[in-house]
Structure 1
Amino acid sequence: MTNTEITSEEIYENIQNKVPLLILDLRAPENYMAGHIEGSANAKCTSMQQKQAIMSKLPMDQKIILIDDDGNEASQNANMLARFGFDAHYLKNGIRSWNKTLVKSKQDTVISNEKLWESLKSDKDVFLLDVREPMEFAEFKIPGAINVPLSELFTSRAGEKIPKDKKIVTICSHGNRSMVATFALAQRGIESTSLEGGMSRWNQVLNANTAIKNVDLTIIQVEKVGKGCLSHIVGSDGQALVIDPNYPPSKYIEFAEKEGLKITKVIDTHQHADHVSAAKELAKITNAELYFSAKEEYKIEHKKVDDGDVIHIGKKQVRVIHTPGHTAGSMTFVVDDKYAFSGDTLFVESVGRPDLRDKVEEFASDLHDTIHKKLLKLESNTMIFPTHHGEGIKSTENGIFYTTPEMAKKLALLDLSKEEFVNKVVSITTPRPMNYSIIIKVNKGTIPIIEEQVPDLEMGPNRCSIQSS
């Protein structure tokens, strides 16, 4: 059997002789950060699945040295790697045997999705390094990220693309490749942080901005940052109606309570296809009334709303308008004849796609009628809040996404005749949302879901609008 043991003196000699080493520290992140061998990276795995995923990404042509507290865990892992053909070793007697200087970390080894979001809002020195393959990166990404595939990070030319004076955050789909990326960067003396859970978790960040705040009405817009999904909290007289809530539902309670509101009613504008609705779960944990469209089928206990109905919330009345097109049962909710919540029917930059239920011509015709005969007939300055925004669409100064009938009339698609509109929409071929057929069944209530499954099910960009040139 290969001897995988190595002493601190041998490691130091290798470092002095500039032997390429991949030094992986298996200790808890806080212990690693308190003091580690310079050039090493923290490789504490939280599960066997993660360990296997990371092992599959390690380079076979480099000398790997594992370090722990006393050598026990490291020796087991080194022997396992050696059996798979890696040139793997472990530090005899662990970090306690290292008699040279240890360095402290300036950055956390991992960063949560919400902490990264807060950092991006306030820290201009964050450098986002996405190590997925180019095709994955092209599908969806964090704005401002730079793509360098993991395989390139272990090559000499990769260093040219990576700044030395920034706080580097590595990104992949689930946090495994990004951890390996921190190994490659550590080899070059570059400290970095891995995004915990990767893009899967990034898609779950919710950010709230107050759109309207007056004596008897509060409207809070909640953005699912990674997907561009939008939901809304409408509050009056201490009560709140939540429209199109996303996961995680607990955040809506937090957002509402900050404004002194209690969630008493929850509703979806339609049966979503690109993300999992949190309406059922939010209603359950808040003991709120749950509403869905009367024109769509659900296997979930709820109250039905239809065209012309009125929902009372505090001192306000919410008027229901049937607005088919994106789906047959889509509804728009209007408050004070000043504010409308249009679901996926009308967006800031486009209109909802009518092809997700395989009745594209019929739904496209309905969509044209809905927009021209109903939404554009609202008062010209009505603020219309959609349930999505596209990539690159700018919000207002206070972070709000909305359109108005006057603004919407400038969309090229809405300048077409009905026949031209239908023909144009039918001719546009855009990939459907990932997992859309499963998501529809989940939102309908025919497939059960647990919150831990949501991030992977929602993975990818939102694709609920018509993308036309």
Structure 2
Amino acid sequence: MSLTPMTAQELAKKVIEKENLFILDVRNEAAFEDWKVEGAHFEYLNIPYFDLLDGVEDILAQLPTDKEILVVCAKENSSIMIGEMLADVGVNASYLSGGMKAWSEHLEPIKVADLDNGGELYQFVRLGKGCLSYMVISGRDAVVIDSARMTEPYLTLAKEKGVSITHVLDTHLHADHISGGRTIAEQTGAHYWLPAKDAEYVTFSYKPIEDGAQIQVGASQIEIQALYTPGHTIGSTSFIVDDAYLLTGDILFIDSIGRPDLAGKAEDWVADLRHSLYQIYKDISADLLVLPAHFMLVDELNEDGSVAKKLGVLLKKNHGLNVDDEQTFRSMVTDHLPPQPNAYQDIRQTNLGKKDPSKEEQREMEIGPNRCAVR
């Protein structure tokens, strides 16, 4: 038997197509419980690699003979070692190339829609982190929204489509991942936009997103007027694309709502959060397709791998949008918050331009799942 690598892109295909896969995760138990490769039809066995140093014979009975086996670790070295031990005893397996670090960084571009006048809307699904970002293409122009720090996928798609990235926007100052917005702007000459109320302490130049602003992208238009939606941050802003698509940032997700505490302002911002969800969103068209900046569970993926649902559906089914009593809502939001994102204060400082961590430090800062939602 031989050991073969499986790339993050190949693994993403298995997640999206809901294939069967057996994962032998050889990280320690705490790391596995905190964060793992999620798949609708995946099975798991978590045995730390140091428990297998004397041989894998004791776990052979727990491994399937009718499913593909993938060995996973943090960076790949341990999974290669265990995978080779499995091959030596006749078990066919693959290892995740680059480990969980590579899985965390993979972006899968998925076309969401054709826009008016020949435009296109793409969603970049970061399966390993639960982050979602977007590219709107119209004419020879493109705008990127809520970019991850891995900028190459956006540049590659723009090149494939023969368009220039002219604007880069963030819906808010992110705390769970490092924004690639400024980097893309530097690489392409695009304008970088950030909500002004989130940018009070930034150390770099930017274009402020204010109420009433409209950004023209080829033949499509992103309208910001009347969609200032604070609550996750004080500056959180939603974008409507082509009067049909609502990019909600971290205010509204498919199965949950945004948390208001990542700047230490839970009690202050919960009222803003409720107003954004219960006033602003309920006053706009229920036919808008909600495109959030995060997802929590692989179950939220549509058949094509995208994460999207009509606002009208969420108004009926999303629990966070159906709490009539204001005090009950306040208690739900502030009393049951999940743990803070990994290194979120350092990430905020980096997004403000106050820290300049190395590439490896950035990777370490982002390790783990996103935790931007109220549970």
Asked if TM exceeds 0.5, the reply is yes
- AA partner of residue 321 (structure 2): L
Q: Deviations over 1:135-164 (max 9, x none)?
A: 221111112251231244435430111234
CA distance in 2, matches of 1:395, 1:126: 18
How many residues align? The count is 362
Q: Could you tell me how far apart the structure 2 residues matched to 1:176 and 1:301 are?
A: 41
Which whole-Å CA distance do the structure 2 matches of 1:106 and 1:404 have between them?
47
Q: CA deviation at 1:196?
A: 2.7
Q: Which residue of 2 aligns with 1:147?
A: 45
| Partners of 2:70 and 2:175 in 1: CA distance | 31
1:369 aligns with 2:285: no
Deviates more, 1:220-229 or 1:308-317: 308-317
Are residues 1:174 and 2:75 paired?
A: yes
Deviation at 1:165, TM superposition (A): 5.2
What are the Cα deviations for residues 168-199 of structure 1, in whole angstroms up to 9, with x where unaligned?
A: 32101122321231243234232433323311
The Cα shift of 1:308 comes to 1.5
Measure the CA separation in 1 of the matches of 2:37 and 2:204: 35
Aligned counterparts of 1:289 and 1:209: Cα–Cα separation in 2: 24
Letter of the 1:163 counterpart: P
Greater RCO (CA < 8 Å, at least 6 residues apart): 2
Matches within 5 A, 1:348-359: 348-359=254-265
CA distance in structure 2 between the aligned counterparts of 1:381 and 1:116, rounded to whole angstroms: 33
Instruction: Give the whole-Å Cα distance in 2 for the aligned partners of 1:348 and 1:121.
Output: 17
**CA–CA distance in structure 1, aligned partners of residues 371 and 309 of structure 2:** 19
What is the SS of the residue equivalent to 1:409?
A: helix
Deviation at 1:120, TM superposition (A): 5.7
Residue 258 of structure 1 deviates from its aligned partner by: 3.2
2:22 counterpart of 1:127: yes
Question: Does 2:309 match 1:415?
Answer: no
Q: Which residue of 1 aligns with 2:290?
A: 384
**In the alignment, which residue of structure 2 is the partner of 1:231?**
133
Shift of 1:337: 2.5
1:380-409 Cα distance to aligned partner (Å, 9 max, x none)? 101121000111333233322123331222
Summarize the Cα distance change of 1:371–1:261 in structure 2 as closer, same or farther, 3 Å threshold: same
Conserved in 2, the CA contact under 8 Å of 1:206 and 1:223?
yes
Answer whether contact 1:142 1:226 (CA < 8 A) is retained: yes
Tell me how far apart the structure 1 counterparts of residues 99 and 271 of structure 2 sit (CA, whole Å): 40
**Structure 1 stretch 277-286 or stretch 148-157: which is displaced more?**
148-157
Q: Which residue of 1 aligns with 2:354?
A: 446
Query: In percent, how many aligned pairs have the same letter?
Result: 30
Within the alignment, does 1:266 sit opposite 2:135 as a pair? no
**Paired position in structure 2 for 1:21:** none
CA 1:122–1:330 in structure 2 vs 1: closer, same or farther (change >3 Å)?
closer
Distance 1:237 1:389, change over 3 A: same
C-alpha change, 1:125 and 1:350, in structure 2 (3 Å) is: closer
What does residue 63 of structure 2 align with?
162
Q: Aligned partners of 2:319 and 2:121: how far apart in 1?
A: 29
Match of 1:205 in 2: 106
The 1:358/1:418 distance shift into structure 2, 3 A limit, reads: same
The residue type equivalent to 1:194 in the other structure is: Y
Say whether the 8 Å CA contact 1:201–1:455 is kept in structure 2: no
- Cross-structure match for 1:240: 142
Q: How does 1:12-411 map to 2 (within 5 A)?
A: 106-108=2-4, 110-118=5-13, 124=19, 126-143=21-38, 144-149=42-47, 150-153=49-52, 154=55, 156-164=57-65, 166-216=67-117, 217-297=119-199, 298-320=202-224, 321-410=227-316, 411=318
Per-residue CA deviations over 1:28-82 (Å, capped at 9, x if unaligned) read: xxxxxxxxxxxxxxxxxxxxxxxxxxxxxxxxxxxxxxxxxxxxxxxxxxxxxxx
C-alpha deviation, 1:111, in angstroms: 3.7
Alpha-carbon deviations, 1:333-387, whole Å to 9, x = none? 1123321111000001110011111111111110000111112211010112100
Structure 2 SS opposite 1:193: strand
**2:2/2:87 contact within 8 Å kept:** no
Aligned position for 1:74: none
CA shift, 1:219, in A, is 0.8
Taking structure 1 as reference, are residues 124 and 415 closer, same or farther at Cα in structure 2, changes over 3 Å only? closer
Map of 1:28 onto structure 2: none
Q: Partner amino acid for 2:220? A: K
Which consecutive residues of structure 1, in runs of 5 or more, have no partner in the other structure?
Answer: 1-104
Gap change, CA 1:369 and 1:126, over 3 Å in 2: closer
Partner of 1:295, secondary structure, is: helix
CA contact (8 A) 2:196 2:209 kept: yes
From the superposition, tell whether residues 362 and 397 of structure 1 become closer, same or farther in structure 2 (CA, over 3 Å).
Answer: same
Alpha-carbon distance change, 170 to 424 in structure 1, aligned in 2, over 3 angstroms: same
Question: Which has the larger displacement, 360-369 or 144-153?
Answer: 144-153
The residue type equivalent to 2:327 in the other structure is E
Q: What do residues 218-242 of structure 1 show as CA deviations (whole Å, max 9, x unaligned)?
A: 1101111101100011111121110
Larger Rg: 1
2:370 corresponding residue in structure 1: 462
Q: CA RMSD in A?
A: 2.1
The whole-number CA distance in structure 2 between the counterparts of 1:117 and 1:404 is 25
Distance 1:188 1:440, change over 3 A: same
